[in-house]
Amino acid sequence: MPAQLIDAKKIADEILLDIKKQVTKLETKPGLAAILIGDNPASKLYLKLKEKACQKVGIDFFSYFLDKNCPEEKVLEVINFLNNDQAIKGIILQLPLPEKFNQDKLIKAIKPSKDVDGFHPQSKVISPNVLGIIELIKSTKVDLKNKKVIILSNSEIFSQPFKKLLPESKIEYVNPKSHISDLISHTSKADVLIVAIGQAKFIKPNMVKKDSIIIDVGINKVKGKTIGDVDPEVDKVVAFRSPVPGGVGPMTVAMLLQNLLQLINIDRK
């Protein structure tokens, strides 16, 4: 049997419908603000997707576009303005930033109570990207108790929240650059393989375990097309795979708005 593609759009739409119901119960319409520095085409596209989702659920979305050559002080001014705006309940600093900017400094300037991306060291929410991946895995209805979950990524920080969110599973972080010679010995044992390395079609059928779950986080542009880190040929071997595009992306946007609601509820207590 070929792999079943996980219908992330359907799951995301169900979450957005629930968010819409919750938003209608709020006394005032919440605002979400996004700051984009520079003109990165991918970042512009992501902001459009977030704005579209906000329109669906009744959240006001505000975009702040800053020139890539603007001084860092200008960005800090905008963040400070949004931190003090009572109508703004969440702030997005769209990454990646142009090289000249101090990413950590700007992230830490955002109030933890408005950090919907979960980047701040004292953030009250978890990364929507990670939350979206968890929802995709859970949608397969596979019992994850004692299952081996391997996170193949260039960043160990990305893997850390999974240990908290999947406590009954055996979580292992694998850096592809550190395991060039024995990478297959790791990936082929994964009951769940989460791939986020930024290399188009890197994961081949011989690198995966039979009947496993594959979550493809990769977004690569190849000849004008969006391609994941996983070769679709793995569908001959695995049981479930998240598609690219239309997989982790829609889920991340949905969970971002869920984080916004969570921050609003925390603030109201």
**What pLDDT, in 10s, does the model give residues 168-190?**
999 999 999 888 889 999 999 99
Residue 197 has pLDDT above 80, yes or no: yes
Q: Supply the pLDDT for residue 33.
A: 98
Distance (Å) of CA 57 to CA 92, 126, 130: 18, 21, 22
In a 3-state reduction of DSSP, which class is residue 85?
coil
Residues 89, 260 contacting (CB under 8 angstroms): yes
d(CA 249, CA 252): 5
Specify the pLDDT at position 228. Answer: 96
Topology given in CATH for the domain delimited by 27-112: Rossmann fold (3.40.50)
Q: Which residue has the tokens 């979305």?
A: 61
As a whole number, mean pLDDT of residues 7-16 equals 97
Mean per-residue pLDDT of the chain: 95
Please tell me the distance from the alpha carbon of residue 42 to that of residue 57, in angstroms, as a whole number.
23
Residue 98 to residue 58: CA distance in whole angstroms = 31
Task: Please list, in sequence order, all residues whose beta carbon lies within 8 angstroms of the beta carbon of residue 184, skipping any fewer than 6 positions away.
Answer: 206, 207
- Token pair for 60: 């006001």
What percent of the chain clears pLDDT 90, i.e. is strictly above it?
A: 90
Q: Residue type at 175?
A: N
Q: For the chain, what's the residue count?
A: 269
Partners of residue 61 on adjacent β-strands: 32
pLDDT at position 88 is 98
* Tokens found for residue 256: 């971002």
pLDDT bin (cut points 50, 70, 90) of residue 142 is: very high
Say whether 128-249 and 27-112 share the same fold: yes
State the pLDDT at residue 157. Answer: 87
Query: What count of other Cβ atoms lies within 10 Å of the Cβ of residue 265?
Result: 11
> Residue ranges per domain, the chain?
27-112, 128-249
221 pLDDT band (50/70/90 cuts)?
Answer: confident
Copy the structure tokens of residue 99: 């090289």
pLDDT at 42: 82
| Half-sphere exposure of residue 87: CA atoms within 13 angstroms, side-chain side | 8
pLDDT confidence bin for 269, thresholds 50/70/90: low
Superfamily of segment(s) 128-249: NAD(P)-binding Rossmann-like Domain (3.40.50.720)
Instruction: Tell me the pLDDT tens digit for each residue of 52-91.
Output: 999 999 999 999 999 999 999 999 999 999 999 999 999 9
Q: Which helix (H) or strand (E) holds 137?
A: helix 128-138
